[in-house]
């Protein structure tokens, strides 16, 4: 492993959403994710979801339990933050309904991403890894470095923490069947 790290690797505490560890695990690289993002934290909703997924994938649960990664991000939203989260949630649901009138929201639709950003922005988190585009935009607007699982894989390949083949396996897990040439171009263009 290369000691050089990119923006997320240098961010200190990094809040992760459920999909990032899942995709790295699917690629057989969960230990590398944990090593690179050693200050990983997650809100309760993410930890609950990771635990639920771990029950069906024993090796996944074993690694997360053994390493105690990600750590719990302790927070309690203030009344003002709860109102802010609700307002943002309603805007996002309205946007979903404009794009797809058959969209069905629940009480917690989008709240995980929103709460992670709000809690992270006041809890010393330097970066968030979110696959939801709006979540990344909200994080950036609140002064946090934000990337996706695919963006993290690109960073890790660009700084030599993962080989390109390893990183592409994660990128593929996150995006289905993306063109390898596009991935290679993004790695080449990455600037820490």
Banded model confidence at residue 83, pLDDT cuts 50, 70, 90: very high
In CATH, 14-147 is 3.40.1350? no
Q: State the maximum Cα–Cα separation within the chain, in Å, rounded to a whole number.
A: 49
3 pLDDT band, cuts 50/70/90, is: very low
Question: The pTM is what?
Answer: 0.89
DSSP 133-165: HHHHHHHHHTT-EEE-HHHHHHHHHHTTSS-HH
Where helices occur in the chain by DSSP H, the ranges are 19-26, 30-36, 44-56, 58-67, 79-99, 111-121, 133-141, 149-158, 164-175, 180-189
CA distances for 99 relative to 103, 113, 120, angstroms: 8, 20, 29
- How does 152-178 read in b/e, with b if 16+ C-beta sit within 10 Å? bbbbbbbbebbebebbbbbbbbbbeee
Residue 50 has pLDDT above 70, yes or no: yes
CA gyration radius, the chain: 17
**Cα–Cα distance list, 100 to 71, 91, 105, 108, 111 (Å):** 36, 14, 11, 18, 19
pLDDT computed for residue 23 by the predictor: 94
Name the residue with tokens 């990119």.
Answer: 6
- Give me 41's structure tokens: 């934290």
Q: Is the pLDDT of residue 69 over 90?
A: no
Average pLDDT over residues 23-35: 93
The predicted model gives 42-57 an average pLDDT of: 77
Checking if the pLDDT of 57 tops 80, the result is no
CB 156 within 8 A of CB 162: yes
State residue 135's pLDDT score: 94
Residue 1 has pLDDT above 50, yes or no: no
Q: What is the pLDDT of residue 9?
A: 84
The backbone torsions φ and ψ at residue 48, rounded to the nearest 5 degrees and listed phi first, read -65, -45
């Amino acid at each position: 492993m290369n000691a050089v790290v990119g923006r997320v690797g240098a961010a200190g505490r990094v809040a992760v959403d459920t999909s990032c560890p899942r995709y790295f695990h699917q690629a057989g690289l969960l230990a590398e994710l944990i090593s690179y993002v050693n200050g990983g934290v997650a809100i309760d909703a993410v930890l609950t979801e990771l635990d639920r997924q771990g029950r069906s994938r024993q090796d996944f649960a074993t690694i997360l339990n053994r390493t105690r990664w990600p750590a719990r991000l302790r927070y309690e939203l203030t009344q003002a933050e709860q109102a802010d989260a609700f307002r943002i949630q309603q805007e996002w649901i309205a946007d979903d309904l404009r794009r797809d009138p058959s969209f069905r929201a629940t009480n917690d639709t989008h709240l995980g991403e929103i709460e992670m950003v709000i809690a992270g922005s006041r809890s010393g988190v330097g970066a968030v890894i979110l696959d939801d585009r709006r979540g990344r935009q909200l994080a950036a607007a609140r002064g946090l470095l934000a990337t996706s699982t695919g963006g993290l894989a690109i960073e890790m390949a660009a700084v030599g923490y993962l080989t390109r083949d390893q990183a592409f396996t994660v990128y593929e897990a996150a995006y289905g069947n993306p063109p390898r040439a596009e991935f290679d171009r993004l790695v080449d263009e990455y600037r820490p």
